[in-house]
Chain A
Amino acid sequence: MGKTLAEKIWADHIVRQHEGEPDLIYIDLHLIHEVTSPQAFDGLRLANRKVRRPELTIATEDHNVPTTDIDKPIADPVSKLQVDTLRKNCAEFGVRIHSLGDVEQGIVHVVGPQLGITQPGMTIVCGDSHTSTHGAFGALAFGIGTSEVEHVLATQTLPLVRPKTMAINVEGKLKPGVTSKDIILAIIAKIGTGGGQGYVLEYRGSAIRALSMESRMTVCNMSIEAGARAGLIAPDEITFEYLKSKPHAPKGADWDAAVSYWKTLQSDSDAKFDVEISLNADELEPFVTWGTNPGQGLPLNSKVPNPAEISDPEARGAAERALTYMGLVAGTPLKDIKVDTIFLGSCTNGRIEDLRSAADVLKGKKISKEVRMLVVPGSARVRLQAESEGLDKVFLDAGAEWRTAGCSMCLGMNPDQLAVGERSASTSNRNFEGRQGKGGRTHLVSPLVAAATAIRGTLSSPADL
């Protein structure tokens, strides 16, 4: 019987296999940031251990860095301590780091791909659950805890139990105005936030094949929101083309050898997935969330659901609680919901194509006087690229704020937060209670919906303009 893509990558990284024990898996790339690494480095120090392979490790500052006045010292003492600690640890253990102000600094999941160190067939880990983003290249990539971070630093391996596989087939053609963000929000609404638990998801089908690399990253990024530790897409010409010009892409003979290996990274036609589901891309509409988990989403043309009509008692209870927290009334058209804040950014939608598509909508227009809009590029390079294309001017002229790179309002660890009761349309990935600030209310949307919503002040798609 054939193998799935995930099984092939797994098999290629087994260092040691023993009956009754987890497999010992080799890790090709370890990404590090300031929040989940300090205790891991401290553990190494206490045990007198070294980083085994500094050249397979890279750090960046993203989670709690400010996105204004980055030339001044960081004002929040806890953030400053974590950033300073990361810098010290990287210096001591010989790990490459991209600090605030450096042209390669940015959100760890934006930086890896843009440097070209994210490649097909790799195993990639990071102390951050959205590491699944890198799966867009046909890599097996997943988030790990602090003890595991220490384990990888010391041994470049992890003992792991092999996950099951799930195929998600998305066939058809997206309508104009419908994006990869809408695909993944629709998938999560369909299988639920626990539907992917224990599985590696493989996104397949003509609608996925047609996506750009950046759009594929948006899909894989949110695998964790469906409960799956990893999600991936088989590499193809679009992948190779994207990688070719990147600084760390293989060169010369290595490139040829790499491409011929990468071409084998497809699920075999007779491979068997543990579960298969499908979605019709033709029917998809722009999607938004109305609740407090990413599975509580609906097409933008719908109304806020009535919990009384939900038969599953647990889902009904969750919907009731969500509506109370979100301050929403059942039956309200989603398009009537007024927002205060628009956040365009994050590792889900903070790349250049995301900024371009939002700028396209905003060009020559003004955002509503009742909203503020934060545009936070995913990396310093994305910011530079956007400025060279004049996108910063489009955003500023429309009345939005143009920030420097970081996670920012995605998790509200830095000063970019929602106030109590404030409502956002956000291109990020989590709408949990308090995620963007205590008492803040989040609607997850695509960059196109974010831009249109900024102009109208209520949840909208460009078609409504």
Chain B
Amino acid sequence: MEKYLSHTGSVLPLRRSNVDTDQIIPAVYLKRVTKSGFEDGLFGAWRNDPEFVLNKAEFAGATILVAGVDFGTGSSREHAVWALQNYGFKVVLSSRFADIFRGNSQKAGLLTVVIDQAEIEAIWSAVEADPKTQVTVDLEAKTVSYGSKSIAFTIDDYTRWRLMEGLDDIGLTLKNIDSVSSFEQSRPSFKPKTLPALS
């Protein structure tokens, strides 16, 4: 997992509330055998509409998704987070996230930040007026800033530490890998091995 300290980028303003994980990535895309390549399926049902914000040239290259309230409800599929990351998003802002989606995103290293709905609306307006608006989401300072504005947000210390260190569960265990190695030294020799294959 990449370390997240601070990220600056342009914004995709998604003026929709209650975007569930089926809308983020429809079930037909789940047969894949990888964690990558889900970007084609992102917001699959809306992609054919040329007016859909993701299809607009002025928002191409956006890395910060600013969404309406209740983002990520519905099925627990981990693929929804992968699809957003595969597409290139580093951060999602909303005034409220579904719990499971938020949990999944924090495990996978996609930062989800909660700010007031009024602030969300203000960002939408600013970005629609000037799509080049650069927004900075600083995890160290716990602020979202653009232009002369700076909005403080809260996040629990443990999650913040993990994201800043870039530690997924595997990363955390790997930090203690020496204890795994020393445990392995003491394993009895009669424990079975699959290699070489005997039959």
CB within 8 Å of B: which residues of A? 15-16, 24, 26, 28-29, 38-39, 42-43, 46-47, 49, 52, 54-58, 78, 81-82, 85, 96, 103-104, 115-117, 119, 122, 146-147, 150-151, 154-157, 159, 247-250, 254-255, 257-258, 261
- Report the number of A-B residue pairs with Cβ-Cβ less than 8 Å: 106
* Cross-chain contact B170 with A16 (CB below 8 angstroms): no
What is the size, in residues, of chain B's interface with A at 8 Å between Cβ atoms? Answer: 31
| Nearest CB of A to B173, in Å | 5
Given the known interface contacts A117-B192, A119-B192, the answer about A16 and B197 at a Cβ–Cβ threshold of 8 Å is no
* Cross-chain contact A55 with B193 (CB below 8 angstroms): yes
Given the known interface contacts A15-B183, A42-B35, the answer about A24 and B199 at a Cβ–Cβ threshold of 8 Å is no
A26 is contacted by which of B180, B189, B199 (Cβ under 8 Å)? B180
Which residues of chain B come closer than 8 Å to A28, judged between CB atoms? Answer: 191-192
Given the known interface contacts A42-B35, A104-B199, the answer about A151 and B173 at a Cβ–Cβ threshold of 8 Å is yes
What CA separation (Å) do A249 and B191 show in the bound complex?
A: 9
Per-residue A-contact encoding for B160-180, CB less than 8 Å = 1, 0 else: 000000000110111011011
CB of B33 closer than 8 Å to a CB of A: yes
Given the known interface contacts A15-B180, A15-B183, the answer about A78 and B31 at a Cβ–Cβ threshold of 8 Å is yes
A155 is contacted by which of B31, B78, B174 (Cβ under 8 Å)? B174
8 Å CB contacts to A: which residues of B1-60? Answer: 1, 31, 33-36
The residue in B170, B172, B174 that gathers the most chain A C-beta atoms within 10 A of its C-beta is: B170
CB of B194 closer than 8 Å to a CB of A: yes
What CA separation (Å) do A146 and B170 show in the bound complex?
A: 13
* Cross-chain contact B33 with A29 (CB below 8 angstroms): no
* Cross-chain contact B173 with A24 (CB below 8 angstroms): yes
Given the known interface contacts A15-B183, A155-B174, A159-B173, the answer about A250 and B36 at a Cβ–Cβ threshold of 8 Å is no
What CA separation (Å) do A254 and B191 show in the bound complex?
A: 9
What CA separation (Å) do A150 and B107 show in the bound complex?
A: 13
A96 is contacted by which of B31, B172, B183, B194 (Cβ under 8 Å)? B194
A16 is contacted by which of B34, B179, B187, B189 (Cβ under 8 Å)? B179
* Cross-chain contact A26 with B183 (CB below 8 angstroms): yes
Which residues of chain A come closer than 8 Å to B183, judged between CB atoms? Answer: 15, 26
Which residues of chain A come closer than 8 Å to B188, judged between CB atoms? Answer: 257-258, 261
* Cross-chain contact A46 with B191 (CB below 8 angstroms): no
